[in-house]
Amino acid sequence: MSHLARWMVGLAALAVVLTGCRQDDPQAQYAKLLQTYQQAQGLASEATVRITITPTRDGEKPSEMRVTTRLARPAKVFSQSRSANGKFDSSAASDGQVVRQRISHHSSPALLEAPAPADLAALLAPDGPMIAGAMDGSNGLTTEVGLFAGLLQPAAETKVTSGDSAETVGGAPCQTLTVTPPEAPPHRLWIGTADGLLRRVEFEVADRSGERVVQIRWEASQVALNPTFKPQDFTLSPAKGERQVAAATIGEATDHLRYGVGQPAPAFALKSVDGQRSVKLADLRGKVVLLDFWATWCGPCQKLQPALAAVAAKYGEKLALVMVSDETAAVVGPAVKERRLPGLQLLDPEGLTGRKYSVESLPTTFLIDRAGVLRQVHSGFDPNTDQVAKLSAWIDPLLAQ
């Protein structure tokens, strides 16, 4: 072997030692990227998310979001997303004990609050706070948040190919990879050759119409692993005059704000399915009211109804169960009889009462106290939750008052 050949072999061996993977092995490069972030104890970055839709329409311009992210194990988070035009500004923070999210509600700021989950993955759950929108990693995309929180598929379960050449992002030389996870769109990564950190992510998806393409680019201007943090780096303090809403989860707090929990329940006067009486909410004053909006065609509604019947039987005259459908008596009546639905069965044929209660999906269930104030609300049906136990936990404190 010539001296030149020996030198090249030695250089290749050194590259393996220094990088931990062969430069032509994209799968190993991706595995090392996962390992780099999962072994870190903290992360701080400043980045920009740019969204471009093609073909463009008259006057349409790309939108841009600036994102500040701070993460520390086991469950500390700060994230702020701000649009370049100032129309959008959302912040979320968890100090490991309490998680807060600041949002705009009817053009006024509100601060949502809930007990903090035990780990970062739980913070990124569907009813957790919004960390960084499409770039939080909970959707299978390779992002710094997803890498750090351990949300991504193992490298062995992900198709990875290398780019044609090295490129530069913000002055930093980068290697490129194209990643195709099982349940996310293909996306391209730029990884710093000096520090092994993610510098850019690009991907595209179809819009809702399927006629246009949405191109999204995340690019870091600053990124560091294991920085030194201060306690105030993970807090959001209430602003003067800001409305505060607390609940068991951020998702529930959002519902409380949307539906007006803590405010007087909207009045209604509706006819019964049999047409024999008209029922007003005011007629039920002095009782705890469980108000459920449903429809005969709604599968989740039907799954919830046995729990509603069980709760009605459990509390008897102490609880008024009111079920409201916007269908006709000819449709609702047979379903009520067949399913043996208890309580007051009322009709809202024009959907006016549903709109007063901001009902957007079925079933939506409200709890109203003896004074006519909304105390709880929940949309949908969760098969993993004991519905009778959940409803009882709502009702018991009100009956004890």
**Three-state secondary structure string covering 151-210:** CCCCHHHCEEEECCCCEEECCEEEEEEEEECCCCCCEEEEEECCCCCEEEEEEEEECCCC
Residues of the chain with pLDDT under 70: 1-24, 105-107, 125-139
Where exactly are the structural domains of the chain? 26-234, 260-400
- Measure the CA–CA gap between 96 and 262, rounded to whole angstroms: 27
Q: What is the pLDDT of residues 283-326, one digit of tens each?
A: 999 999 999 999 999 999 999 999 999 999 999 999 999 999 99
The domain defined by 26-234 carries CATH number 3.30.360.10? no
298 as an active site residue: the answer is yes
Residue 120: the pLDDT is: 86
Active-site pick, 224, 298, 310, 388: 298
Q: What is the pLDDT of residues 15-57, one digit of tens each?
A: 333 333 345 589 999 999 999 999 999 999 999 999 999 998 8
21 as an active site residue: the answer is no
Active-site pick, 301, 312, 346, 362: 301
Report the predicted TM-score, pTM, of the whole model to 2 decimal places. 0.72
At the topology level of CATH, where does 260-400 sit?
Glutaredoxin (3.40.30)
Report the DSSP beta bridge partners of residue 49. Answer: 65, 218
Report the DSSP beta bridge partners of residue 71. Answer: 43, 77
- Measure the CA–CA gap between 396 and 376, rounded to whole angstroms: 12
